[in-house]
Chains A and B, each alone.
Chain A
C-alpha cells in the first residue's frame, strides 16, 4: 500500500464514512469548494455534492449549534473548526448542549457529532493560531478527546470517532499534516476510542505524549539511548477517556514517567496523567514529572517559539537531569 500524508488520511476517512453512511455530513468554513485551508477535504464536495459537504458562513456558533441539533435529529455531522484557537466560540453548543444531552435526556437520544480542529504550535502563527486547547475540554463528561500522531491512527481514529454515538473533539496537529506513512491493514481499520499505543518499548523511563509530542519523545528516546537510557514511549491517542491501564502497565516496568505536553503546566492533561499514575501505581513509582511549555502565551518570534516548545533535546535533557545522568555517558 502506498504512503499517504496525514492530511490524506483525514480525507480518506471522511470519504469512506461519507460513502458508508448517508447520515454523515461534512461542513465548515472553506471545506467544500476550496478543499480546506489545510487541504484535508479536497474532492469530497465534488464526489458527494452540496447536500453532504458544504461551506458555511464564518459563524462558529451556528456551525456548532447546527451540528448539535442535526445530530439529535438523525444526522452524523462532522464539522471543521479551522483552528483549535477558535473552539471557545463553539464551546456552548459543545459543552452545554451536545455533551450533556445523552445523559440528561435519560439516554433518549445520542449526539453523534465530530468536531475536527487543527491545533499546535511551531508554525510561527502566534498566540491565537497555535494553541492545543485540550484541557479547556478535558473536564467535560460526555465529550471524548482524540489526538492522533500518525496517518494510520488519524484515519482509523477518525472513522472510530464518526462511528461513536456521542460527541468527539478530534484534534489534528498542524505540524503533522505532511507526515507520510504507509497506512497499514489496507486502511479499513477502525480504532475505538480510549486505547493507547506503545510506540517504543523501554525499561528505564516512560515518556507519555500525544500528537507531535509522540514524535518528539521518540526522537528524545534515540538521544537517550546513546546515554544508555532505555525509554518507553506511549502514545495516548485519546485524552478522554484516558487509557489508565496502559499508564499503569508501563510504570510497572519503568517506575518513572514523564508526561510531555504542548501546553502550560497548570491545569494541563499531563497533570491528569500523573494523577492517574499516582492513584493506580503508587507502589511502582520512583519518579513522576511533567515537561510542558512555560506559563505564558505562545510567542511569535522564531527564537522565542523554539525555546518555548518542548522538543526532543529538551525532553532528553529533562530525563537525564531527573535520572542524574550526564549527557554522553556511554
Chain B
C-alpha cells in the first residue's frame, strides 16, 4: 500500500466526466450492497464474490474503451459488467436466477456473459479471463480493437498468466492485462504465495508495465488510456497492476478473519468513492438518482419470473 500512497495525485477530468465515473462506481457499490443483502435473505443463491472497494479499477479502465474493444472479467465480475454498461436490472435478475437475466438464469453470478456490452465473459476459473482476452486480442487485432483482461493477484501464479503474456508479447497482440491486486487470494495474503514482484513478471517479458493506485479512478483512467492507446497503436500488450482492496469476504462464507488489524479501516479511509467525491464536490443529485435506480431494480427483480423447469419451455440448442 505504501507504493500506492506515494502515487502522485492524478489529473481530474471535467466535472461532467468525473461525475459519470463517480456514478458508475456508485452503481457498483449500491448493486453489491443489494446483492449482499439479498444473499443474506436467501434470494441470491450459491455463492457470490463482491467487488466493493475495487470499483475504481473497472470503472477507470472501461471508461477508455471503444466500441470494438472487448473485456474478460472474473467471478468477481459484477463490477466489470456494470462498468461496461451492462444493465443492473439484467445482472441482478441473472443473480436471482430469473428468466429475464442477461443469460436467462443459466449462468449465475460467476459466469456472466453479455456480448452486447462487450463483455465476452466472467470466468470462474482463476486465470481464465487472461486466456480469453488473449484470444480476443488475436481476433481484434484485425479491426483495431483492444482486449482487456481483469484478474487478481492470485491469478498471476497460474500457468495461464505466464503463457498468455508471453504469447501476447510474441505476437504483439492488442491486449491490456489488468491485475487487481487486492492483497489476498481467498484467505491467503498474496506475499505468502507470490515470489518477487508481480509487475516484474510482466516486465521480464518486455511488456510495458505500471503499478498504480487502484483506488483513484482518475489515475486508473489515465493509466488505462495510455495502455489502451499503446495496444491499439500496435505496440503490443500492456500490463497494469492496480493496488486495491476488497471490503467484504472473498465469497459468501468468508468472514475475513485473516485481515491484519486496522487494515480494513485503513483502506476504507482511501475509499474510491470518497476520494472521487472529494475531487468533484457536490454529488447529491447523482447520489439520489442512483439510489432510486437501484431501488427500482430490486423491486423489478424480485417480481421477475424464474425460467420454466418445464422441459418443453427450457429447450436448448445442441450447439
Binding site for B on A (CB under 8 A): 29-30, 33-34, 37, 55-61, 85-86, 89, 123-129, 294-297, 299-304, 306-307
Q: Are A128 and B111 in contact (CB under 8 A)?
A: yes
Q: In the complex, A292→B107 CA distance in Å?
A: 21
Looking at the complex, which one of B99, B107, B192, B318 makes contact with A295 (CB distance below 8 Å)? B318
The stretch from B2-10, B154-162, B275-283 touching chain A is B154-162
Which residues on B sit within 8 Å (CB–CB) of A33? 187-188, 258
Interface residue? B194 (CB, 8 A):
yes
Quote the shortest CB–CB distance from B167 to chain A (angstroms).
16
Residue interface mask B176-194, A partner, CB < 8 A = 1: 0000000001111000111
Looking at the complex, which one of B94, B124, B154 makes contact with A128 (CB distance below 8 Å)? B124
Quote the shortest CB–CB distance from B305 to chain A (angstroms).
9
Interface residue? B46 (CB, 8 A):
yes
Q: Are A58 and B126 in contact (CB under 8 A)?
A: yes
Q: In the complex, A82→B71 CA distance in Å?
A: 27
A–B pairs, 10, beta carbons within 8 Å? A29-B185, A29-B186, A58-B193, A125-B47, A125-B110, A126-B46, A294-B316, A300-B106, A301-B99, A301-B106
Which residues on A sit within 8 Å (CB–CB) of B45? 124, 300, 302
Instruction: Name B155's closest neighbour in chain A (CB-CB).
Output: A58
Q: In the complex, A133→B56 CA distance in Å?
A: 38
Interface residue? B311 (CB, 8 A):
yes
Interface residue? B246 (CB, 8 A):
no
Interface residue? B125 (CB, 8 A):
yes
The CB with the most chain B CB atoms within 10 A, among A60, A125, A126, is that of: A126
Q: Are B105 and A301 in contact (CB under 8 A)?
A: yes
Instruction: Name B97's closest neighbour in chain A (CB-CB).
Output: A301
Quote the shortest CB–CB distance from A156 to chain B (angstroms).
28
Q: In the complex, A57→B45 CA distance in Å?
A: 28
Interface residue? B196 (CB, 8 A):
no
Having A58-B158, A125-B46, A302-B306, one finds 14 other A-B pairs with CB under 8 Å, namely A34-B187, A58-B127, A58-B155, A126-B108, A126-B124, A128-B124, A299-B106, A300-B105, A301-B104, A301-B105, A301-B108, A303-B105, A304-B97, A304-B307
Which residues on B sit within 8 Å (CB–CB) of A296? 316
Q: Are B311 and A304 in contact (CB under 8 A)?
A: no
Which residues on A sit within 8 Å (CB–CB) of B126? 58
Instruction: Name A129's closest neighbour in chain B (CB-CB).
Output: B124
Q: In the complex, A289→B310 CA distance in Å?
A: 23
The CB with the most chain A CB atoms within 10 A, among B124, B155, B316, is that of: B124
* 8 shortest interchain CB distances as A-B pairs: A300-B108, A301-B105, A124-B46, A301-B97, A124-B45, A307-B309, A57-B157, A57-B193
Interface residue? B29 (CB, 8 A):
no
Quote the shortest CB–CB distance from A256 to chain B (angstroms).
25
Residue interface mask B96-138, A partner, CB < 8 A = 1: 0111010011111111000000000000111100000000000
Q: Are A127 and B187 in contact (CB under 8 A)?
A: no
- Tell me if A's interface is mostly helix, strand, loop or mixed: loop
Instruction: Name B124's closest neighbour in chain A (CB-CB).
Output: A128
Interface residue? B288 (CB, 8 A):
no
Supposing A30-B188, A55-B192 touch, asked if A303 and B108 sit within 8 A by C-beta, the answer is: no
Q: In the complex, A129→B107 CA distance in Å?
A: 11
Instruction: Name A38's closest neighbour in chain B (CB-CB).
Output: B253
Supposing A123-B46, A126-B108 touch, asked if A56 and B193 sit within 8 A by C-beta, the answer is: yes
Looking at the complex, which one of B111, B125, B194 makes contact with A57 (CB distance below 8 Å)? B194
Interface residue? B308 (CB, 8 A):
yes
Q: Are B110 and A129 in contact (CB under 8 A)?
A: yes
Quote the shortest CB–CB distance from A121 to chain B (angstroms).
10
Which residues on A sit within 8 Å (CB–CB) of B46? 123-126, 129, 300
Q: In the complex, A59→B162 CA distance in Å?
A: 11
Which residues on A sit within 8 Å (CB–CB) of B316? 294, 296
Q: Are A37 and B107 in contact (CB under 8 A)?
A: no
Quote the shortest CB–CB distance from B96 to chain A (angstroms).
8
Interface residue? B314 (CB, 8 A):
yes
Q: Are B306 and A301 in contact (CB under 8 A)?
A: yes
Which residues on A sit within 8 Å (CB–CB) of B157? 57-59
Which residues on A sit within 8 Å (CB–CB) of B101? 301
Instruction: Name A59's closest neighbour in chain B (CB-CB).
Output: B157
Which residues on B sit within 8 Å (CB–CB) of A55? 188, 192-193
Q: In the complex, A142→B109 CA distance in Å?
A: 38
Q: Are B107 and A127 in contact (CB under 8 A)?
A: yes
Q: In the complex, A33→B192 CA distance in Å?
A: 12
Which residues on B sit within 8 Å (CB–CB) of A304? 97, 105-106, 307, 309, 314
Q: In the complex, A216→B94 CA distance in Å?
A: 29
Instruction: Name B44's closest neighbour in chain A (CB-CB).
Output: A124
Q: In the complex, A124→B105 CA distance in Å?
A: 11
Q: Are B111 and A300 in contact (CB under 8 A)?
A: yes
Which residues on A sit within 8 Å (CB–CB) of B104? 301
Q: In chain B, residues 275-319, which have Cβ atoms closer than 8 Å to a Cβ of chain A? A: 306-311, 314, 316, 318
Which residues on B sit within 8 Å (CB–CB) of A37? 186, 253
The CB with the most chain A CB atoms within 10 A, among B47, B98, B253, B309, is that of: B309
Supposing A56-B193, A301-B97 touch, asked if A126 and B125 sit within 8 A by C-beta, the answer is: no
Instruction: Name A56's closest neighbour in chain B (CB-CB).
Output: B193
Q: In the complex, A37→B192 CA distance in Å?
A: 18
Residue interface mask B186-220, A partner, CB < 8 A = 1: 11100011100000000000000000000000000
Which residues on A sit within 8 Å (CB–CB) of B185? 29, 57-58
Q: In the complex, A304→B126 CA distance in Å?
A: 26
Q: Are A128 and B125 in contact (CB under 8 A)?
A: yes
